[in-house]
Chain A
Amino acid sequence: SQTIHQWPATLVQPVGSPLSLECTVEGTSNPNLYWYRQAAGRGLQLLFYSVGIGQISSEVPQNLSASRPQDRQFILSSKKLLLSDSGFYLCAWSEHVYEQYFGPGTRLTVT
């Protein structure tokens, strides 16, 4: 069966510091991968998605970037964090155009 991992689970970072969040999926190949952000008490904002290695689509212009160095690995990065980057970051995967499953998330607090 398929499993999705995210780390770290929680992170507290100062403004201006860099960021790297990692997501990996097991038990499938060539999945579609997604990064979402959820501000406290709010909805799901799609940040990036990828349909293959090195293929990244950006949904919202911001100071974040994403990379997919391996088939089942998706990384979210920032060179300098802003206060507004605080939130719950969710990675998700889908094997085809239907069911999409979320990872456990990373709770980021920028201080």
Chain B
Amino acid sequence: GENVEQHPSTLSVQEGDSAVIKCTYSDSASNYFPWYKQELGKRPQLIIDIRSNVGEKKDQRIAVTLNKTAKHFSLHITETQPEDSAVYFCAARASRLGNEKLTFGTGTRLTIIP
């Protein structure tokens, strides 16, 4: 089955700097890669996703890049702000008959230092 590894597990950056979180996946059939942000005590929220037919997607200060050959994808947050502090989860799903589930990474706790 699919295996998703996420690094780093914790990340601290100065406010205004950029943050990058990386994930690798094992199943070459994976074609959907979402990112979730979970604030303390809240539900995970889908913040951005990418499908395998594109290499990069941006939404304001966040972007996701995908390298299918190397089987890794990354979340980039620019001009970080205190409200970016949260746990971020990557996930992957292979488009395969009967495969209806996402495989999640173990999470990255991002702390923005004012």
Name A residues whose Cβ lies closer than 8 Å to a Cβ of B.
32, 34, 42-44, 46, 49, 51, 57, 59, 90, 94, 97-105
Contact = CB atoms under 8 A, between A and B. Distances in A.
A90 B104 contact: no
Nearest to B44: A102
Interface string B71-84: 00000000000000
B49 A99 contact: yes
Interface string B33-50: 010100000111110010
Given A44-B89, A51-B100, A99-B34, A104 B46 contact: no
B90 to A, nearest CB: 11
A62 B93 CA distance: 24
Give the interface residue-count category, chain B: 20 to 34
Contact of A34 (B46, B95, B101, B106): B101
Interface of B: 32, 34, 36, 42-46, 49, 51, 89, 93, 95, 100-102, 104-107
Contacts of B89: 43-44
Contact of A46 (B43, B44, B46, B101): B101
Contact of B32 (A97, A101, A103): A97
Contacts of B105: 43
A97 B42 CA distance: 24
A48 to B, nearest CB: 10
Given A99-B34, A101-B46, A43 B107 contact: yes
Q: Which residue, A57, A59, A97, A103, has most C-beta atoms of chain B within 10 A?
A: A97
A100 B46 contact: yes
Which are the 9 A-B pairs with shortest beta-carbon distances?
A: A102-B43, A43-B106, A44-B104, A43-B107, A102-B44, A32-B100, A105-B43, A98-B32, A51-B100
A19 to B, nearest CB: 20
